[in-house]
Structure 1
Amino acid sequence: MTADLTARLAALTPEQRALLRARLPEARLATQQLTPGQLRLWRTRQWVAERPVDVVCQAVHLTGAPVDLDLLAERVRGFAAAHEALRTTFDGTAEDGTGVRPAVREALPPRLVRTRCAGADAAHALARELAAEPFDLANGPLLRVVLAEGATPDEAWLLVVVPNLVFDAWSFELLLDELARPADTDPPAAPPFRDVACDQRGWLASAVGRAAAAHWASEVADAPPPLPADRPRSAGTGRAGARVDFALSRTVADGILTAAQRAATTAYAGWLAVAWAALAEHGGRDDVLLGTFTAGRDRPGSTDVVGYLLNVLPVRLRDAGDGSHAARTRAAGAATRAGLAHAAYPGELITERRRVPGTHPLLDAVFVFDNLGEATREIQGARVATADLDKGTARYDLTLAVYPGPDGAQGWLEYDTELYEERTARRIVERFTALAEQAAAEATRAEPGKGGPA
């Protein structure tokens, strides 16, 4: 009976669901609970003992024009008031998340700080300091924002610190959109996070949700072991971390894109193929199971929702063909397309005998390809440059991130310092960058008129 009712609710149109919720306000409040993603984050928080592992820590540098910080503060307050995720606290203390319930408050103003930062070092240090300060999840506020004057009148800083429990990368872009909104326009509607969470529960019980569960169970069956580490994983870790940065030229980035287009796939698949090659070398086997991030916003009405909808899904990379970058790109593209059809399924619900000690039961390594901020943006006429700051933590054993841009690609390898030595991390990065350069050269040789096949 319960499954049938859930399936019927999932089949309602958005308009029908809105009407039903309006008629049942008390039931709507009573059914709030953590999503699978939030539940994992809650458990991680207990594991790492207040270390800022799952905390957004972004520094926004505004240059080229004077910025009205009072107006920015007003916009930030309005944004927090409009989006219920930023007015949410969490009742309950159970370490496993059992019984913890989100509570949406009528008002929960953000913590706003006004100061002055002489340069990037000072701004980044202040953001890290705010991220390291423990959050009171039961009382809030959970959004911390610093508005700082820069060294010159046409420079300013916006520092954003907030736990992932109520915020993700897409939410950060929505905040920047609001700060950049022209004064003569109205803000878009702010759909409540709880509606999306409710829709997710209904979808899981539907036939489509059950098909997605079967797909992922097949995808991770007989999964390979975690990648080798310098020290045993048996006891888990506290997720202390460090990063090794890298940069690749526009020529290399263009070569990866060209190879991907030739394989009728995306730049994401091209960079994933390079990551696969580097980690396969490190692990000594071509069968690699990586985590990959999806926005989790394919449900109707979810694109304007602030909250943690980010989904971490496995991608199984096995058949490298002849080992060339072209073959790996085709295989990575095929694996990606197969997973996209089932991308709404919460990765936390995918189970397998392979259990990884730490903050995720299935995944030890993840690949991040972030092009959300690739387009240029201005706030009050000032150019916007964002930086995802290293907080000295590691969300996973290994995280390889690539950020494309107009001048090429930048990125970093984040590693758990309790598992990996710095020299190991640097060796992986050196192989990744070398393989990217080789892949770009391979793509150039294959271009018509350059000695390769037409």
Structure 2
Amino acid sequence: MTTQTGAAPDGLWRGVPHRMSIGLRHQLRDDGSLPSENLTCFLFAFPGVRVDVPRLERALARAVTANPALSHHYRVDPDHGPQYREAEWRPRIDVVQPPGRGWESTRTAARRIADAELDNPFDLRDGRLLRVTAVRRPDGDGTVLVVTIDHTVCDGISYAQFLDDLSAAYRDEDTAAPDRPRASLARVAAAERRALAGAAREELCDAWRGRLPDGIPELVLARPTPWTACTAEGDQATTVLSGPEYERHVRHAAELSVSSFMLATAKLLHAMRPSVLGDELSFFSPLPGRFVPAARGVLGNFVSVLPVTVPAPRSADVAATAEAVREGVLWTLRHQGVPFDVIRDAVGNGDAGNGEFSYQRRSVFISGNPVMRLELDGFQGQMSVPTLSDAMFDISLWIADTGTELRASSVFRTSLLDRSLVETWLSALH
């Protein structure tokens, strides 16, 4: 992607929100660079559609204007910590021609580009934190878009919002830019500082100490290998419920008075139970999300990954496990007003883990994934993901309910879990 940059509007450096500050400190290198630690990348295939690239570039420019965190310059100042400076930037789209002929050649070329993107970090000092590649043949219809954003400045909620903004800008090119007042990152950071300095902080910490008397929980699956002895090599597995299977799942959730996500989580945990080396069930989840209202609608990474405890005994069936998942999720939602590191410091690490982040322990990650939709000229892109080769947790599961299907995607550590075992767990959703 070729780009153009402009001078910063005012040249002022401002503080960043809490979660982004943690990420920037973690990414800082000795030479002052801030290479991406994680990237968010999705592919959107439009078979039979020749995307108007100049029009899409204009839409990208409007979407970036609406979400300026993608064009900020970031730094970690030795005296003031992580900061950002506003700047202007107009993104350009790289157009790549696949080497072969036919639609499958186009999709294969796009998948290779997406896989390579995960090894191509941004430098957050640069202020250009979005890449878009269009893969298509010059003499044929059909386009695949590869959209990559730095994860430190864009969580999953923000990525879905950006796609909505891009779709709207492409659709409504002749209208004025959407008037969606959004707070600056500095305003979000100020709101977070006030929340973390108030009396409510200690009340929440007291509640978490009561919830987690033994510290941050650890869920060990299959093998008793310490987290520090695990390697991060990962593999992927996915399952999809559609048609009558999906309808049965939705009806079952309604009968149990739980959400589709809660029932799917319960089915997965119930299937995992024979492999859990211990009596307690828990998982980490970003579902509480942004802990101050000022962050609503602002593109950034504000997600706080919190532990959810599931009070279900080994004898619990799926229905009882679903009830316990509901209790755990709702309790966490009601006590989400402080970020994870504050909770960790309040309750302690227990006997598990070591290192800077206390999720460095054997554990499971389960997230309700927002639906990633990119719509151009009335056509909705067919979404897919690149090949993930690393796994932070024993297993990470992303559950998305589109209203017509339920998709559960996973990445798991091959040093701990066999693919056949993971596929058995996923099959419990059917």
Match runs of 1:29-428 below 5 Å: 32-33=15-16, 35-36=18-19, 38-40=21-23, 42-43=25-26, 54-63=38-47, 65-92=49-76, 100-110=81-91, 112-117=93-98, 118-149=105-136, 153-181=140-168, 182-183=172-173, 184-187=175-178, 188-222=180-214, 224-228=217-221, 230=223, 232-233=225-226, 235=228, 239-294=232-287, 296-297=289-290, 299-320=292-313, 323-351=316-344, 352-354=348-350, 355-357=352-354, 360-362=357-359, 364-373=363-372, 378-405=375-402, 408-417=405-414, 419-421=415-417, 423=418, 425-428=419-422
Alpha-carbon separation, structure 2, partners of 1:236 and 1:77: 45
- Which amino acid counterpart does residue 425 of structure 2 have in structure 1? R
Distance 1:31 1:103, change over 3 A: closer
Tell whether the 8 Å contact from 1:32 to 1:194 is kept in structure 2 after alignment: yes
Alpha-carbon separation, structure 2, partners of 1:61 and 1:259: 33
Q: How many residues align?
A: 401
Q: Could you tell me which residue of structure 1 aligns to residue 101 of structure 2?
A: none
Residues 339-384 of structure 1, C-alpha deviations (whole Å, 9 max, x = no match): 11122421232212234357841362201222434xx763222222
Query: Shift in Å at residue 296 of structure 1?
Result: 2.5
Q: TM-score, normalised by structure 1?
A: 0.77
Query: Shift in Å at residue 32 of structure 1?
Result: 0.6
Alpha-carbon separation, structure 2, partners of 1:93 and 1:393: 30
Alpha-carbon separation, structure 1, partners of 2:204 and 2:133: 42
Tell whether the 8 Å contact from 1:401 to 1:413 is kept in structure 2 after alignment: yes
Query: Shift in Å at residue 150 of structure 1?
Result: 5.6
Alpha-carbon separation, structure 2, partners of 1:297 and 1:408: 27
Tell whether the 8 Å contact from 1:90 to 1:100 is kept in structure 2 after alignment: no
Alpha-carbon separation, structure 1, partners of 2:394 and 2:380: 35
Query: Shift in Å at residue 396 of structure 1?
Result: 2.4
Q: Could you tell me which residue of structure 1 aligns to residue 4 of structure 2?
A: none
Alpha-carbon separation, structure 1, partners of 2:40 and 2:374: 20
RMSD over aligned CA atoms reads 3.3
Query: Shift in Å at residue 306 of structure 1?
Result: 0.9
Query: Shift in Å at residue 66 of structure 1?
Result: 3.5
Alpha-carbon separation, structure 1, partners of 2:36 and 2:188: 26
Q: Could you tell me which residue of structure 2 aligns to residue 429 of structure 1?
A: 423
After TM superposition, the structure 1 stretch with the greater mean CA deviation from structure 2, 276-285 or 147-156, is: 147-156
Tell whether the 8 Å contact from 2:14 to 2:186 is kept in structure 1 after alignment: no
Tell whether the 8 Å contact from 2:97 to 2:136 is kept in structure 1 after alignment: yes
Residues 265-306 of structure 1, C-alpha deviations (whole Å, 9 max, x = no match): 211111111122133221144412211122634643533211
Alpha-carbon separation, structure 2, partners of 1:358 and 1:276: 27
> Which secondary structure does the structure 2 equivalent of 1:132 belong to?
coil
Distance 1:71 1:111, change over 3 A: closer
Q: After the TM superposition, which segments of 4 or more aligned residues of structure 1 sit over 6 Å from their partners?
A: 49-52
Query: Shift in Å at residue 152 of structure 1?
Result: 7.3
- Which amino acid counterpart does residue 292 of structure 1 have in structure 2? S
Residues 156-181 of structure 1, C-alpha deviations (whole Å, 9 max, x = no match): 22211122111121222222222221
Alpha-carbon separation, structure 1, partners of 2:251 and 2:152: 38
Residues 84-127 of structure 1, C-alpha deviations (whole Å, 9 max, x = no match): 31122332399xxx964222232244464222344222112102
Tell whether the 8 Å contact from 1:280 to 1:287 is kept in structure 2 after alignment: no
Distance 1:170 1:278, change over 3 A: same
Query: Shift in Å at residue 39 of structure 1?
Result: 0.6
After TM superposition, the structure 1 stretch with the greater mean CA deviation from structure 2, 392-401 or 234-243, is: 234-243
Q: Could you tell me which residue of structure 2 aligns to residue 448 of structure 1?
A: none
> Which secondary structure does the structure 2 equivalent of 1:67 belong to?
coil
Tell whether the 8 Å contact from 1:87 to 1:108 is kept in structure 2 after alignment: yes
> Which secondary structure does the structure 2 equivalent of 1:436 belong to?
coil
- Which amino acid counterpart does residue 358 of structure 2 have in structure 1? P
Query: Shift in Å at residue 432 of structure 1?
Result: 3.7
Residues 392-415 of structure 1, C-alpha deviations (whole Å, 9 max, x = no match): 122323202223346533323211
- Which amino acid counterpart does residue 327 of structure 2 have in structure 1? A
Structure 1 residue runs of 5 or longer lacking an equivalent are 1-24, 438-454
Q: TM-score, normalised by structure 2?
A: 0.81
